[in-house]
Structure 1
Amino acid sequence: MTLSTYLLKLMATRILTALLVLVGILQILDLLDVTTDILDRDLGAAGVGYYALLRLPRLIEQAAPLAVLAGSLFAFGKLASDSAVTAMRSTGISAYRVTLMAIPAALAIALAQLAIGMVIAPNTDARLGVWWQASTPKDPAKIVDPVTFRVGDEIVVAVPRDPDGSGLEKVTIYRRDQAGRLVQRTTAQAAIYENGQWRLIEPRFETLGATNISESGARSQTWTENLTPGDIRTLAMGETSVTPAEASRALAGGLSVRPRTFYDTQVQRAWAAPIACMVMMLLAAPAALANFRGGGATLIIQCLAAGLLFLVFDGAFTALGENGAAPPILAAWAAPAIFSALAVTVLLYLEG
């Protein structure tokens, strides 16, 4: 077995072990919160298992950066405690090369996280939403609250009518011009999704002119193609997560309920989030140079603290971008860039 193979195997096993532990903990906490609801719906143990399976991709995505940090610290710490790095440096193998040989393990997790965030998790989230909505007990006396959202330049207030999201009732549409001024209000008894587009039933139009308001009506009218039944289901269930595809569609005139900066930041975050795995690997790399005879455990604790601090800064920058206080590209990429530079600087200093 070559040195690079040994290092890669050591790193991969430690990271995967940490990932399994973290995902297991998150899964248990998640199930503790929803198992009672699942059993109350008479879905049984099969329902609990199905829910856990559909939630698994999101939990893996959430746990991946911390798993890389923990696994890397365990792996580099083992190398340091066994004096393996000292032996390798005596043969001319630097700490930089040791880090480079270990990076493919973090890269594999990062690519897996990217695939989960872009493709797998959005599909499982949609299936989970449909399944959860279909199993919700019907209560005829329950009052369904209206939802408010934007489609392009239009602000819409409506009441979801059908569980599958294909119908709205008590629809009010406020249409604005490019300057954001109200130019028309449309009310309709209902809106139905048919053949890939929405159709308003008996709409009434109130158009604001310079000095008067004109009124008109129709039996039906085609409305928009930028809204899907899945969007309505998401609104009705109060879901707060936004997939990269949904964020891109919101920027292109689709459903949106938050400021444009929020969706700009989410698009950038979709690509920046997997980079966190690489950053965690770099932050853990100095642990390979720890000297356990001279208080080397302190260095490992400092690496752990740096990784946790990175998550705090990353979340803070993201919040600033979502609220428009920072440019989206800066909000998504600033923390990875800063902490990567910090990790490389520390490694250079320790290597001498």
Structure 2
Amino acid sequence: MTLGLYLLKLMASRIGAALFALVGVLQILDLLDVSTDILDRNLGAGGVAYYALLRLPRLIEQSAPLAVLAGSLFAFGKLAGDSAVTAMRSTGISAYRITMMALPTALTLALAQLAIGTVIAPRTDTILSEWWQASTPPDAAKAVDPVTFRVGDEIVVAVPRDPDGTSLEQVTIYKRDASGRLIQRTNAQAAVYEDGRWRLVEPRFETLGDDNVVESAAQRMDWTANLTPGDVRALAMGETTVTAAEASRALAGGLSTRPRTFYDTQLQRSWAAPVACLVMMLLAAPAALANFRGGGVTLTVQCLASGLLFLVFDGAFTALGENGAAPAVLAAWAAPSIFAALGVTALLYLEG
């Protein structure tokens, strides 16, 4: 077995074990929260297993960076504890080369995280949402609250009573001009999704002029094609997860419930989030040079602390971007860039 293959195998086994453990803990905590609801709906053990399967992609996506950090620390710690790194360096193999030989494992998981976040998880989220909505027992006495959202430049308030998401009731649409001033209010008894677009039923219009209000009405009117039944179902269920495709559609005039800066940041985050796996390995790499007979545990703890601190800074920068306090590109990429540079600097310093 070559050295490169040995390092890849060691890294893959440690990171895989860490990922399995983290996903298992998150899965258990998630099931503790919803198992009672699933059983109350008479879905049985099969329903619990089906729910766990559909939630698995999101849990893997969330756990990947921490799994790389923990797995890399275990792998590099084993190499240092067995004096393998000392032996490799005595033959002229530097710590940089050791890190580069181990990096493909983190890169593979980063690509998997990207695929899960952009392709797999959005589909499983939709299946889970539809399955959960279909198994919800009907409650005629339950009040349905109106929801507020934007479609393009229009602000909409409506009641989503249909579980299929193909109709809205008590629809009020506020239309604005380019400067954001209200120019028209439309009230309709309902909005129905037909032939790929929404149509308003018995809409009444109030158009604001310079010094008057002009009223008019119609029997039916085409409204928008930028809103889907899936959007309505997500609004009714109060779902907060935003995929890259949904963020792109919101920026292009589709459904949005938050400021534009939020969707700009989420779009950048969809590409920046997988980079966290590579950053975590760079932050863990100095542990390979730890001397456990001379305080090497302290270096390992410092590597762990830097990885956790990266998650804190990453979350803080993301929050700033979502609220418009920082540009989206800076909010998404600042923490990965800073901490990747920190990891490389630490490795350079320890290598001498």
Name the TM tier (shorter chain). Answer: over 0.9
**Which whole-Å CA distance do the structure 2 matches of 1:2 and 1:195 have between them?**
61
Shift, 1:63, TM fit: 0.2
Instruction: Please report how far the alpha carbon of residue 161 of structure 1 lies from its aligned counterpart in structure 2 after TM superposition.
Output: 1.9
Partner residue, 2:142: 142
Q: Where has structure 1 moved over 2 Å in runs of 4 or more?
A: none
Instruction: State yes or no: 1:99 paired with 2:99.
Output: yes
Question: 2:312: which partner in 1?
Answer: 312
Residue 277 (structure 1) aligns with: 277
Residue identity opposite 1:188 in structure 2 = A
1:86 matched to 2:86: yes
Deviation of residue 211 (structure 1)?
A: 1.1
The residue identity in structure 1 corresponding to 2:278 is M
Distance 2:108 2:156 in 1: 43
The one-letter code matched in structure 2 to 1:119 is V
Aligned equivalents of 1:240 and 1:144: distance in 2?
Answer: 18
Residue 6 of structure 2: aligned partner: 6
| Match of residue 44 from structure 2 | 44
The equivalences for 1:84-233 within 5 A come to 84-233=84-233
Q: Distance in 2 between matches of 1:243 and 1:42?
A: 31
Other-structure match for 2:337: 337
Q: CA deviation at 1:248?
A: 0.5
Identity %: 80
Give per-residue Cα distances to partners, 1:260-290, cap 9 Å, x unaligned: 0000000000000000000000000000000
Equivalent AA in structure 2 for residue 197 of structure 1: R
Q: TM-score by structure 2 length?
A: 1.00
Cα offset for 1:142? 0.8
Are 1:31 and 2:37 counterparts? no
- The letter of the residue matching 1:291 is N
Equivalent AA in structure 2 for residue 118 of structure 1? T
1:113-148 alpha-carbon deviations (Å, 9 max, x no partner) = 000000000000001110111111101111100000
For this pair of structures, how many residues does the alignment match?
Answer: 352
Counterpart residue type for residue 52 of structure 2: A
SS of match in other structure, 2:156: strand
Per the alignment, residue 238 of structure 1 pairs with: 238
Q: How far did 1:58 drift? A: 0.2
Q: How does 1:34-73 map to 2 (within 5 A)?
A: 34-73=34-73
Deviation at 1:315, TM superposition (A): 0.2
Residue identity opposite 1:123 in structure 2: R
Residue aligned with 2:293, SS: helix
User: How far is the alpha carbon of 1:233 from its aligned partner?
Assistant: 0.5
Name 1:328's counterpart in structure 2.
328
> In structure 1, what is the Cα distance between the partners aligned to 2:198 and 2:343?
52
* Secondary structure at the counterpart of residue 34 of structure 2: helix
Q: What residue number does 1:16 align with?
A: 16
User: How far apart are the structure 1 equivalents of 2:161 and 2:241?
Assistant: 22
Distance in 2 of aligned mates of 1:90 and 1:328: 46
Deviation for aligned residue 1:342: 0.4
For the residues of structure 2 that align with 1:290 and 1:105, how far apart are their CA atoms?
A: 21
Superposition deviation, residue 307 in structure 1:
0.2
Write the distance in 2 (CA, Å) between the matches of 1:107 and 1:13: 15
SS at match of 1:225: coil
Partner of 2:249: 249
Q: Using the alignment, how far apart are the partners of 1:143 and 1:336 within structure 2?
A: 45
Shift of 1:241: 1.0
1: distance between equivalents of 2:24 and 2:102? 25
Residue type of the alignment partner of 2:20: L
Separation in 2, partners of 1:308, 1:330: 20
Look up the SS of the partner of 2:185 in the other structure: strand
What's the TM-score once normalised by structure 1's chain length?
1.00
